Amino acid sequence: MQRSTAGWGSGFLGVLIFSGSLPATRIAVAGFTPLFLTSARAVIAALLAGGLLLALRQRRPATSDLLPLAVVAVGVVLGFPLLTALALQHITSAHSIVFIGLLPLSTAIFGVLRGGERPKPAFWLFSVLGAVTVAGFALTQSGPASLAGDLLMIAAIVLCGLGYAEGATLSRRLGGWQVISWALIVAFPVMAAVAVATVPGTLDGIGAPAWLGLAYVSVFSMLVGFVFWYRGLALGGIAGVGQLQLLQPFFGLGLAGLLLGEPVAWTMIAVTGLVVLCVAGAKRFA
C-alpha cells in the first residue's frame, strides 16, 4: 500500500510538471520551427541527463535494453514533442491540451500490451468514462479547430502512450530517471544533427517568451517531469497511475488562461469534478 501511495504521489508531481508543456510549446513555436524546437529540447535535456549519469556513476543499460530505450525515445523524445509542436501551428493551446485526456487510455492499452498488466473490468469503465468526458469537453468548449491539428494530436497521444508504457516497464529495472536519461542519450546523435541542420539563420526577433518556453520544455517537460512520472508508473502501476493524466488537461487549461490569455470556460470546474471521480474509480480497480 505504501509503495502504491508513493507511486501515485510521484505520478501526480509528474502530471503537474507536464501540464505546462503544451502552453510552453505554444509560446516557443512563435519563435522557433517545430523541428528545431523538438531537436533543441532533446539536445539540451540529453546534455543534462548525461551529466547526471556521469556524476552519479550509473551503469550502462544492457544490450537487450537498447531497443526498448529506442522505443521510449521515438515516443516521448521525438514523436510527442514534434507532433504537438506541428499541431500547435493549426490549433490553440487550449484545444490541444484537452486531447491529453485521451492519454491515460492510450497508456493503459500499451500497459496491457507491453507491461503485462491486467486491470479489472471496472477500471476500463472508469477509464473510458473519463476519456469520453474529456473528449466531450473538447467538442463543446474548444474554438474552431483544424482537422490536421486534431489528427496530429491523436498521433502524438498514441506515440506518447507507447513511450510511457515502455519506459515504465524499463523503470522497474533501471530506475525512473535513468530510463529517460538513457533514452535521451540514445536519441542524442540524431537530434543533435537535426538541431544543427535546422538552427535559425538569425536569432534576432526571437523574444524572451520563446526562449523561456524552450527552457521549460527542455528541462522540465523533457527530463524533470519524467523523473517523477516514470517512478510513479513503476511503483503504482502503469494503468492505474496513468489515469492521473486525466487531470492534466485542466491544469494545462488553467495555465493556458493565465499565461496565454486564452479563455477558460466555467464548465471546466464541473467537468474536473467528474474526472476526479473517474481517477479515483480507476485507482480503486487498477
The mean pLDDT of 37-48, rounded to a whole number, is 95
The CA-atom distances, in angstroms, between 229 and each of 6, 76, 180, 235 are 11, 12, 10, 10
pLDDT band at 194 (very low <50, low <70, confident <90, very high): very high
Quick check: 155 and 87 in contact, CB under 8 A?
Answer: no
Are 173 and 53 a contacting pair, CB within 8 Å? no
pLDDT digits (tens, 9 = 90+) for 51-60: 999 998 888 9
Cβ atoms of residues 14 and 200 within 8 Å: no
Q: With bands split at pLDDT 50, 70 and 90, how would you rate the model's confidence at 92?
A: confident
For residues 56 and 59, what is the distance between their CA atoms, to the nearest angstrom? 9
d(CA 47, CA 43): 6
Q: Which own/partner contact pairs does 1-4 have at CB distance under 8 Å and 24+ positions apart?
A: 3/235, 3/236, 4/235, 4/236, 4/237, 4/240
Written as nine digits, the cell of 143 is 474554438
What is the rounded CA–CA span in Å between residue 178 and residue 50? 10
All 3 cell numbers of residue 36? Answer: 528545431
- What pLDDT does residue 93 have? 75
**Nine-digit cell string for 5:** 501511495
User: Above 90 in pLDDT, residue 216?
Assistant: yes
Q: What is the pLDDT of residue 276?
A: 67
Residue 8 pLDDT greater than 70, yes or no: yes
pTM above 0.85, yes or no: no
